[in-house]
């Protein structure tokens, strides 16, 4: 876990000499980020996506690094790429490094630049996927190609996976790989991927680097209300739309109880220390997590979404004509569950929906929690601090989820680690699925250096 050093006291850089990546690697990470963005891999859900062109782009560059990539599909066009970099110690456990190739939709009319242009302007790479997560894909490609040029080999085997379908169900991506091709991940005990190790500016002189050490589980739900169909002009006490609307309102207004996981407790403890706040006593009767989060200022935003389960109504579907009361109405809920709180989630939905509305899960993924006192976490932290002596590394829990959940079924302990050093005022979290997604070139260079350093020493 990160130390509780006074944030006003600068840390000293490590004296360890590092064989840095060459200039070509720094050029390639920008080229590859831009090139991948230009390949439109929009995932609209329901199978509407084609990652194969991006997968072939990745495979070609892995082959150029002397690797032997596998292209794997459950559904034609929904392509995954897996390759293994052999390490020098055959007895060592393998490390999984994974990133997804698909992106969420983007409306060009809302953007400053075209979302699939991959334009490099004023030292920034623009486009859908710049932070989620074609930047990380490009960093990995740049690092392994640099190793091939320099003759570098890591200590342990490194398995690289570039997946399809992360932005929907992962049925054509990580879930397919874990279920159908577990042999490709033999020996992998830990993994790193998206959502972590970026600069979060908690203040003008307080650079926090949150490393993902937990994820809330996905619990997508469909509600169905049934009633009596009839004419819209008549009184109807069994109106399916009214029943559904009432249930949706109850769910949307529900205040979920506080549930502090180990990762969230560690985050609150370390962030409190960085802000000069007394170490929280989580077992005290008067402990108020919400008040502590408020005291943390901007840094509280790293923790606030993961204090509780959540259930947000997102889609409604009912009726076909204004003067016809339909016999059924449906809604969809984006639910998220903390580790150990899945049963509470189901029982709460039973109570909130009531007797007139049925509900069912449409998609579920397990919550995760990875140790923050492990050698892996310590190594990730050290890699960041080596290149940014002012860094304050803390663990955090992701409010959403990643492919790490599927690889966890193979025994892989996952961490969110996509290293980027970002300038003050750059709101990186807001760019996930947002408009004008972009990443600074300098941040990509930082990421290549950190990944190279960590993957060689892991």
Alpha-carbon separation of residue 92 from 140, 144, 342 (angstroms): 21, 19, 35
Active site residue 60: no
Distance of alpha carbon 373 from alpha carbon 237, whole angstroms: 58
List Cα–Cα distances, 81 to 14, 157, 163, in angstroms: 36, 17, 7
Distance CA 336, CA 320 (A): 31
Q: Has 102 been annotated as catalytic?
A: yes
Q: Which of 28, 51, 102, 437 is catalytic?
A: 102
Question: Which DSSP state fits 46?
Answer: T
Token representation of residue 232: 């819209």
**Secondary structure tally for the chain: helices H, strands E:** 12, 19
* Marked catalytic residue, from 166, 167, 194, 365: 166
For residue 240, give both structure tokens. 């399916």
Compute the residue count for the chain. 458
Q: Is the dihedral of CA 69, 70, 76, 80 positive or negative?
A: negative
Paired with 330 in beta bridges are: 224, 317
Residue found by looking up tokens 């996927």 in the block: 129
């929009």: which residue's tokens? 42
Laid out side by side, the sheet with 124-126 consists of: 120-121, 124-126, 438-440
| Catalytic machinery residues | 102, 166
């Amino acid at each position: 876990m990160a130390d509780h050093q006074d944030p006003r006291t600068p840390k000293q850089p490590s004296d360890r000499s590092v064989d840095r990546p060459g200039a070509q690697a720094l050029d390639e990470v920008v080229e590859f980020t831009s090139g991948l963005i230009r390949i439109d891999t929009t995932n609209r859900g329901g199978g509407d996506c084609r990652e194969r062109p991006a997968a072939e782009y990745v495979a070609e560059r892995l082959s150029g690094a002397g690797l032997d990539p596998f292209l794997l599909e459950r559904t034609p066009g929904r392509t995954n790429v897996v390759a293994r970099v052999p390490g020098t110690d055959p007895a060592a456990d393998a490390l999984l490094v994974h990133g997804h190739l698909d992106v969420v939709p983007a409306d060009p009319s809302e953007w400053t630049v075209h979302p699939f242009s991959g334009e490099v302007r004023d030292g920034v790479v623009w486009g859908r996927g710049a932070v989620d997560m074609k930047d990380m894909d490009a960093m990995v490609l740049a690092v392994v190609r640099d190793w091939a040029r320099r003759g570098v080999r890591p200590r342990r085997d490194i398995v690289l996976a570039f997946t399809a379908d992360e932005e929907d169900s992962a049925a054509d991506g990580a879930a397919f790989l874990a279920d159908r091709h577990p042999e490709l991940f033999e020996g992998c005990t830990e993994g790193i991927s998206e959502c972590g190790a970026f600069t979060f500016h908690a203040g003008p002189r307080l650079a926090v680097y949150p490393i993902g050490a937990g994820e809330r589980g996905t619990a997508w739900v469909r509600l169905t209300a049934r009633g009596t169909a009839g004419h819209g002009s008549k009184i109807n006490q069994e109106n399916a739309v009214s029943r559904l609307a009432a249930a949706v309102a109850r769910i949307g207004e529900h205040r979920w109880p506080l549930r502090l996981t180990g990762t969230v407790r560690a985050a609150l403890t370390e962030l409190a220390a960085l802000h000069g706040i007394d170490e929280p006593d989580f077992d005290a009767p008067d402990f108020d997590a919400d008040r502590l989060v408020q005291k943390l200022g901007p840094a509280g935003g790293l923790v606030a979404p993961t204090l509780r389960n959540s259930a947000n109504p997102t889609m409604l579907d009912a009726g076909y004509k204004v003067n016809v009361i339909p016999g059924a109405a449906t809604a969809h809920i984006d639910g998220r569950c903390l580790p150990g709180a899945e049963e509470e989630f189901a029982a709460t939905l039973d109570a909130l929906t009531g007797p007139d509305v049925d509900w069912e899960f449409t998609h579920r993924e397990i919550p995760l929690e990875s140790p923050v006192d492990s050698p892996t976490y310590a190594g990730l932290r050290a890699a960041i601090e080596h290149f940014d002596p002012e860094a304050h590394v803390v663990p955090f829990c992701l409010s959403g989820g990643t492919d790490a959940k599927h690889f966890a079924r193979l025994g892989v302990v996952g961490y969110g680690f996509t290293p980027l050093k970002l300038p003050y005022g750059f709101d990186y979290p807001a760019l996930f699925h947002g408009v004008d997604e972009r990443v600074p070139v300098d941040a990509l260079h930082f990421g290549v250096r950190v990944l190279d350093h960590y993957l060689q020493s892991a």
